[in-house]
Amino acid sequence: MKNTVLSIVFLFSTVTFSQTIERIRSEKLNSTREITVKLPASYKADSERKYPLVLVLDSEYLFKPFEGNIAYGNYWDDTPEVIIVGINQNKNEERYDDSEIDGASGLPVKKGGAFFEFIGGELLPHLEKKYPVSNFKIIAGLDSTAGFLNTFLYKDIPLFNGYISLSPDLATGMEERIAARLSAFKKPVYYYHATSDGDLKKFQLKIKALDANIKTVKNPMLNYKFDDFKNASHYSLVLNAIPNALYQIFSVYKPISSIEYNDKIVVLKEGYADYLKNKYDTIEKALGIKMNVRLSDFKVIETAILKNEAYTEFEQLAQISGQQYPKSMMYDYHMAMYYEKRNELPRALKNYQNAFIKEEIGDLTKDMMLNKAEEIKGKLPKKIKGNRKAVVEEVPTETPTEVPSEVPAETPTEEQKPK
């Protein structure tokens, strides 16, 4: 017999698109708890796509700020779509009891211990069974719940990859224990915490001591950020901290920016296609998100290849584009560029003609392929030596469309969205 039994009752499912409120009967807590679940706009019940999870404590006032920031970041494709789940703790005695920690051991006790077991033993298994939750999970809270969420770091196999601790009320010794635990991680871990000059003084000292201790940690698996906001109160710092935390944790997901292009890509002597492949491999490994390369990122790499005259890399780029967009003209376009820059014009022409019969994608159009083919044809001799056959058939004359020489705009298109 299973050691946990969940009784799920749906109250309603029309709060907003793909948002529901559930009441979950917990054996660990011997009570019924209310959670809010917001599913991504792209969610489909029959899809195999999975999404990172953001678990928000103190949901009654933290859920909306997280929801808004995540929606904004996703609109610009800076942050991925996620499943947001909020645990409502709208009674002060409830949130404090839920966050009870032993002063000596630093571990959850009494109701806090039961709440700890509810999250790890009941809630997460339920969410993973019912919703397409990936292996990447984040937990967030404020003051008491922020201090409490750090106890999940102490598990041998932590349940969360990212921790957003907003003005945490740290139990005795946590400023040392947390730093020690972060130093021992063997897998990537993301840790964010924040305070402000207007924060509660009793919190500030330990928060800053924790920051000093974490800064001594030499663990390449740790992605760490601390903010000390000016002119912000204990409560208003939340609105500054949430976007900073999300952009820190999801920084690897963002499209290639002009800064990244100038500082990391165009300065390379080689390996532009490898840079692109490694970026998306890292997104999949770190965040559990498997997605096609954004069209804007392809254009950035094309620009770097052209600028540095590393034309042989178009062949490597073609392998990536052909695998990810097999019905589009992108593979043949990249191969045509490869042959054109090597002055293998008949082969270049053949690929431009092949591209014409495939699907348009992004700014690659049939007109562009006809124009490029006509341009190449004009550079070819009328007949191949020793052969009376014309090299190619006539193609309509159009004004050639040149490959962009500037870094393209970073606004995402529908083809760029993760699968």
CATH number of the domain within which 31 lies: 3.40.50.1820
Domain membership of residue 32 (yes or no) is: yes
CA–CA distance, 272 with 244 (Å, rounded to integer): 29
Would you say residue 28 lies in a domain?
yes
Q: List phi, psi (to 5°) of 51.
A: -130, 145
Say how many Å lie between the first and final Cα of the chain, rounded.
37
Give strand pairing partners of 229: 196
Residue 13 lies in a domain: yes
Q: 196 and 321 share a domain?
A: no
Same-domain status, 22 and 121: yes
> Is 395 inside a domain boundary?
yes
Closest CA to 55 of 147, 157, 138, 160: 138
Q: Assess contact for 315 and 347: CB atoms under 8 A.
A: no
Write out pLDDT tens, residues 103-125: 888 889 999 999 999 999 999 99
Burial per residue of 96-132, b for 16 or more beta-carbon CB atoms within 10 angstroms, e otherwise: bbbbbbeeeebebeebbbbbbbbbbbbbbebbeeebb
Shared domain for 108 and 249, answered yes or no, is: yes
Residue 297 lies in a domain: yes
Residues 371-381: pLDDT tens digits?
Answer: 999 999 999 98
Residue owning tokens 């004004």: 399
Q: What is the 3-state secondary structure (H, E, C) of 290-305?
A: CCCCCHHHHHHHHHHH
pLDDT in tens, the chain (419 residues): 334 334 333 333 333 447 899 999 999 999 999 999 999 999 987 788 899 999 999 999 999 999 999 999 999 999 999 999 999 997 667 888 999 998 888 889 999 999 999 999 999 999 999 999 999 999 999 999 999 999 999 988 899 999 999 999 999 999 999 999 999 999 999 999 999 999 999 999 999 999 999 999 999 999 999 999 999 999 999 999 999 999 999 999 999 999 999 999 999 999 999 999 999 999 999 898 999 999 999 999 999 999 999 999 999 999 999 999 999 999 999 999 999 999 999 999 999 999 999 999 999 999 999 999 999 999 998 764 344 344 444 444 343 434 444 444 444 454 555 65
| Overall number of domains in the chain | 2
Same domain, 249 and 266: no
Pair (249, 139) in one structural domain: yes
Q: Are residues 276 and 209 in the same domain?
A: no
Q: How many helices (H) and strands (E) does the chain have?
A: 15, 9
Sheet strand arrangement including 222-233: 7-12, 19-26, 31-38, 83-87, 51-56, 133-142, 162-166, 189-198, 222-233
Q: Give the Cα separation of 220 and 187 in Å (integer).
A: 9
Domain annotation covers residue 48? yes
C-alpha dihedral sign at 35, 41, 46, 47: negative
Among the three residues 219, 253, 287, which one is the final residue of a domain in this structure?
Answer: 253
Q: Do 222 and 275 lie in a common domain?
A: no
Task: Give the Å distances, CA to CA, from 237 to 11, 128, 192, 194.
Answer: 33, 32, 13, 8
> Residue 1: inside a domain, yes or no?
no
> 52's torsion region: left (phi>0), alpha (psi -120 to 50) or beta?
beta
Domain extent for 396: 258-416
pLDDT digits (tens, 9 = 90+) for 314-340: 999 999 999 999 999 999 999 999 999
Q: 59 with 43, same domain?
A: yes
Q: What is the CATH number of the domain that holds 267?
A: 1.25.40.10
At 123-168, the pLDDT tens digits run 999 999 999 999 999 999 999 999 999 999 998 889 999 999 999 9
Q: Which of 237, 253, 269 is the last residue of a domain?
A: 253
Same domain, 245 and 291: no
Give the position of tokens 């090597």. Answer: 342
Tell me, yes or no, whether 226 and 288 share the same domain: no
Domain membership flag for residue 268: yes
The total number of residues written for the chain in this structure = 419
Residue 389 sits in the same domain as residue 402: yes
This prediction's pTM: 0.83
For residue 279, how far is the Cα from the chain centroid? 12
Residue that is last in its domain, among 253, 269, 297: 253
pLDDT at 416: 53
Question: Are residues 193 and 60 part of one domain?
Answer: yes
